[in-house]
Amino acid sequence: MSTHTYEVWAPEADSLSVLVGAGEPTAHAMERSDDGWWRVAAERGDGRYAFSVDGGEPRPDPRSPSQPDGVHAASELVDTAAFVWTDGGWTGVSMPEAVVYEMHVGTFTPGRTFDSAVQRLDHLVDLGVTVVEVMPVAAFPGDHGWGYDGVSLYAVHAAYGGPQAFARFVDACHARGLAVWLDVVYNHFGPSGNYLATFGPYFTAKHHTPWGKAVNLDDAGSDEVRRYVLDNARMWLADFHLDGLRLDAVHELHDHRAVPLLEELAAMADGVAAETGVPRHLVAESDRNDPSTVAPRGPGGTGGLGLHGQWVDDVHHALHGALTGEAQGYYADFAVPEALPKVLATTPFFHDGTYSSFRGRTHGAVVHPDITPGWRFVASLQTHDQVGNRAVGERLCHLTTPGLAAVGGALLLTSPYTPMLFMGEEWAAGTPWQFFTSHEEEWLAESVREGRAREFAKHGWSDAVPDPQALSTVEASTLDWSEPSRPGHARMLQWYRTLLRLRRELPALRDTPLGQGWAERDEESGVLLVGRGGVTVVANLAAEPRTVRLPERVAGRQVLAAWGQAQVSADEVALDAHDVAVLGT
């Protein structure tokens, strides 16, 4: 029988054993090294194993590669080197080429697995996206959930098919010319199945995130905790051939080191890219509106953190407010006429050192396009957060007219930023996308229900909130693949395909630098004009027809694409209510 070297970091343990095998496992005492790592060579058995610290209950490996029986059960050995890959010719997708599609594997198809998702990849190719961003797949409690309460960061969620299925999915994407980014959560761990504190000082008492204990990045023992995160990120990029990672809520990584973890992660990703010749991108979600997050690293601590991209909420908020009229909560800051023109032409940060009424203070910093070009900022019209964190999970198309949803798509896909779509957005999906969990502990399930009800009350949403624990909530949130061929949905799908084709074919939409475009909004008429190079978008946000006199600089252009019947003369364009036209030469 073959052997395997089991190892685990537990610096404060007095004794440690590995329990090999399911059913009645065999215990093997482990030996401690001076660095706090315990090791022993023992038989592989059936591949199942767990660790007992100081004679305690068996616990999964903190670096478990697979949890086939759930996050509370034994771990399973996986040989990632045995994955079968056919992507030897894959050269990747650069950030300026990226058009991102955010996908939740558990609701993308009724099959809820990677293998069933593969069957729909040709739809994404036909649509014109180039990057699939997969929401978190690290093992979490139960079968169904968003994935942001993961507790086994190295294990691919079993209900999705496990690690081998994920490798097949990535390989299938690469075969179709699609890059794959994975959403990873390093700022906190979920509460159920989280046994890391049994092994070592993975958490700090000095900080707390809105979702639980903060990860220890600078207390005693934090060198190994940082290594835990860095090794995990490298595993995804190297062993699973991923093209990038989306880093969740990096503003909750409380790190006071001279070289922050984010900078170390960026350097590691650049190293993997150099080793393989394939671009690797790290894209941060940050609430700080700080362009140094994506400014290039410099020698001796100069420059920025060196991450390759950053989500920008301000673009979403300005678009959403203009299209829906919502002005509650954080949308209140964007209910001013200048918000939309500013984020569409000048900067991704509406708050770039300006006062935020929602925060009660000034917020953000100025973006310098020569240092941080527009494509470093990932902008969206909808995301899992902005849809799923509404009381009943309404998409934009549920909140406004088809025409205004089409306007939003045009403004996003002609913007100077890297655009990201949320699954189903491209055909105005009729299905909502709601929050769901499958916690085994009733106290935790009830805590989630109560917490979300309190949060919704702040936004004035009094609708009946779907039960996160109910299977019906998951089913209601699953895409209906019969919709894209139906009237209305098919029209929106064709509109998105047309916009993405124009983005590929028109250099002005790719190459016009941030700050060199322009945008004008007439609040009284509801007309919005946006120009980038030789392309002009004319949008009628009003509920009545409008005839728009074009500025001299764009007169004489023809209609490249239109939602509705745009009538263009030499210096005017007539649009029906909630219609939009893309003009060019």
* Architecture of the domain delimited by 517-584: Sandwich (2.60)
Rg of the Cα trace of the chain? Answer: 25
- The answer to whether 313 is a known catalytic residue is no
Give the H or E element holding residue 455. helix 442-459
pLDDT for residue 212? 82
Would you say how long the chain is, in residues?
A: 585
In this structure, the dihedral spanned by the alpha carbons of residues 304, 309, 313 and 314, taken in order and rounded to 10 degrees, is 60
For residue 435, what are the contacts with CB-CB under 8 A and spacing of at least 6? Answer: 146, 388, 389, 393, 452, 466, 468, 473
Mean pLDDT of 470-474: 96
Q: How confident is the model at residue 374 (pLDDT cuts 50, 70, 90)?
A: very high
pLDDT for residue 443? 87
**Cα–Cα distance between 487 and 559 in angstroms, integer?**
24
Residue 452 to residues 208, 332, 456, 474, Cα–Cα distance (Å): 19, 21, 6, 17
pLDDT for residue 301? 67
Q: How confident is the model at residue 462 (pLDDT cuts 50, 70, 90)?
A: low
Could you report the per-residue pLDDT of 310-351, keeping only the tens digit for each?
999 999 999 999 999 999 889 999 999 999 999 999 999 999
pLDDT for residue 300? 74
**Cα–Cα distance between 310 and 313 in angstroms, integer?**
10
The DSSP secondary-structure symbol of 252 reads G
Residue 72 to residues 67, 125, 236, 393, Cα–Cα distance (Å): 8, 38, 23, 30
pLDDT for residue 457? 66
In 211-368, which residue ranges form alpha helices assigned H by DSSP?
222-234, 261-276, 313-324, 339-345
In 3-74, which residue ranges form alpha helices assigned H by DSSP?
none
Give the start-to-end residue ranges of the domains of the chain.
99-186+213-434+452-505, 517-584
Could you report the per-residue pLDDT of 267-326, keeping only the tens digit for each?
999 999 999 999 999 999 999 999 999 999 988 767 899 999 999 999 999 999 999 999
**Cα–Cα distance between 488 and 494 in angstroms, integer?**
10
pLDDT for residue 99? 98
In 244-393, which residue ranges form alpha helices assigned H by DSSP?
261-276, 313-324, 339-345, 384-388
Could you report the per-residue pLDDT of 24-72, keeping only the tens digit for each?
999 999 999 999 999 999 999 999 999 999 999 999 999 999 999 999 9
Q: How confident is the model at residue 261 (pLDDT cuts 50, 70, 90)?
A: very high
The answer to whether 133 and 172 are in contact (CB under 8 A) is no
- Does 437 score more than 80 pLDDT? yes
Secondary structure (3-state) at 449: helix
pLDDT for residue 444? 87
**With a threshold of 0.85, does the pTM exceed it?**
yes
- Does 1 score more than 70 pLDDT? no
Mean pLDDT of 110-134: 98
- β-strand pairing of 418-422 with 377-380: parallel
The DSSP secondary-structure symbol of 189 reads -
Angle (deg, nearest 10), helices 489-505 and 402-413: 20
In this structure, the dihedral spanned by the alpha carbons of residues 229, 234, 235 and 240, taken in order and rounded to 10 degrees, is 140
Mean pLDDT, the chain, as a whole number? 95
Secondary structure (3-state) at 31: strand
pLDDT for residue 122? 98
- 99-186+213-434+452-505, what's its fold? TIM Barrel (3.20.20)
- Among the listed residues 156, 151, 152, 229, the one whose alpha carbon sits nearest the alpha carbon of residue 190: 151
The pLDDT > 70 percentage for the chain reads: 98
pLDDT for residue 458? 64
For residues 443 and 159, the model is more confident at 159
Catalytic residue among 263, 285, 385, 579: 285
The answer to whether 312 and 379 are in contact (CB under 8 A) is yes
pLDDT for residue 552? 87
Residue 531 to residues 54, 468, 506, 553, Cα–Cα distance (Å): 67, 43, 13, 10
Report how far Cα 579 is from the mean position of its chain's Cα atoms.
Answer: 30
- Does 170 score more than 70 pLDDT? yes
Beta bridge partners of 532: 535
- Among the listed residues 105, 254, 124, the one whose alpha carbon sits nearest the alpha carbon of residue 176: 124
Mean pLDDT of 435-453: 85
pLDDT for residue 445? 83
Q: Tokens 């030499």 belong to which residue?
A: 570
- The answer to whether 285 is a known catalytic residue is yes
**Cα–Cα distance between 138 and 518 in angstroms, integer?**
42
Residue 162 to residues 108, 137, 238, 243, 424, Cα–Cα distance (Å): 17, 9, 17, 19, 25
The answer to whether 129 and 100 are in contact (CB under 8 A) is yes
pLDDT for residue 454? 73
Could you report the per-residue pLDDT of 481-536, keeping only the tens digit for each?
999 999 999 999 999 999 999 999 999 998 899 999 999 999 999 999 999 999 99
pLDDT for residue 463? 64
| Amino acid (one-letter) located at 151 | V
Give the H or E element holding residue 198. helix 196-199
**Cα–Cα distance between 105 and 151 in angstroms, integer?**
18
Catalytic residue among 76, 149, 183, 248: 248
